[in-house]
A and B are shown apart, each in its own frame.
Chain A
Amino acid sequence: RKEVEQDPGPFNVPEGATVAFNCTYSNSASQSFFWYRQDCRKEPKLLMSVYSSGNEDGRFTAQLNRASQYISLLIRDSKLSDSATYLCVVRGIKAAGNKLTFGGGTRVLVKP
């Protein structure tokens, strides 16, 4: 089993709709969680950190479910510019050097 798994998609989303997708992680001791966004032929860029209580940044909402070991990202009122690959990132335990592990990404395509 991969340490961090994501549905590769693509998720085809009508403009203005809401889309949500999850990322599962295998190590229950994982410490921190992040969502990154990667546009085609560009480097990944931090979208948001994921806090235990869940957090929101504009149209984006991130949730953490430790019991089921997954994080989620919800995008409301999708814009064409939201089309990208969304990468889930998990930080391991201190004993493992706090290493960050990336999922394979979920591709989102927002269409008019």
Chain B
Amino acid sequence: GAGVSQSPSNKVTEKGKDVELRCDPISGHTALYWYRQSLGQGLEFLIYFQGNSAPDKSGLPSDRFSAERTGGSVSTLTIQRTQQEDSAVYLCASSLVFLGSRMAYEQYFGPGTRLTVT
């Protein structure tokens, strides 16, 4: 079946512009995560959506970052007034969760959006 998809795959933007990154999770997956990864670095957790619960925003680095998840499916990560340090690969992942099974918590990643702020 279809995996997690993200768009765009690459985005080059000028410093100070706003960008929107999109994630389409696997159909039926209730949990959705956003991470970012700078070159050669580990995954940095940004935000986590779980069903209808309030999202865990504890990883958002500043108030320029926000995310929403509409209808429990598609998610958009918005970065306002982009800075050069925002350049990274932004990864989205989803997991099933509510099956009462270990297997349900495994995350599946999209290919990422490579953001370059010039």
Chain A interfacial positions (CB closer than 8 Å to B)? 31-32, 34, 36, 42-46, 49, 51, 87, 89, 91, 97-105
Name the CB-closest residue of A to B53: A97
| Inter-chain contact A89/B107, CB cutoff 8 Å | yes
| Inter-chain contact A43/B105, CB cutoff 8 Å | no
Q: Which residues of A contact B48 (CB under 8 A)?
A: 97, 99
A85 to chain B, nearest CB (A): 8
Q: How far is the CA of A102 from the CA of B33 in the complex (A)?
A: 12
Range of interface residues on chain B?
A: 20 to 34
| Inter-chain contact A46/B106, CB cutoff 8 Å | yes
Q: How far is the CA of A101 from the CA of B93 in the complex (A)?
A: 12
Q: Say yes or no for B25: interface residue by CB 8 A criterion.
A: no
| Inter-chain contact A101/B45, CB cutoff 8 Å | yes
| Inter-chain contact B108/A46, CB cutoff 8 Å | yes
Q: How far is the CA of A100 from the CA of B102 in the complex (A)?
A: 12
Name the CB-closest residue of A to B110: A43
Give which listed residue, B43, B50, B103, contacts A87 with CB less than 8 A: B43
A95 to chain B, nearest CB (A): 12
Name the CB-closest residue of A to B91: A43
Indicate whether A45 sits within 8 Å of B109 (C-beta atoms), given known contacts A100-B33, A103-B42, A104-B42: yes
Q: Say yes or no for B87: interface residue by CB 8 A criterion.
A: no
Q: Which residues of A contact B31 (CB under 8 A)?
A: 98
Q: Which residues of A contact B91 (CB under 8 A)?
A: 43-44
Would you mind naming 24 contact pairs between A and B with Cβ atoms under 8 Å apart? A32-B105, A34-B106, A43-B110, A43-B111, A43-B112, A44-B91, A45-B109, A49-B103, A51-B102, A87-B43, A89-B107, A91-B105, A97-B50, A97-B56, A98-B50, A98-B97, A99-B48, A99-B56, A102-B42, A102-B43, A102-B45, A103-B42, A104-B42, A105-B42
Q: Say yes or no for B95: interface residue by CB 8 A criterion.
A: yes
Name the CB-closest residue of A to B109: A43
Residue from the set A46, A51, A100 with the largest chain B CB neighbour count within 10 Å: A100
Q: Which residues of B contact A36 (CB under 8 A)?
A: 107
Interface residues of B in 52-105 (CB under 8 A from A): 53, 56, 91, 93, 95, 97, 102-103, 105
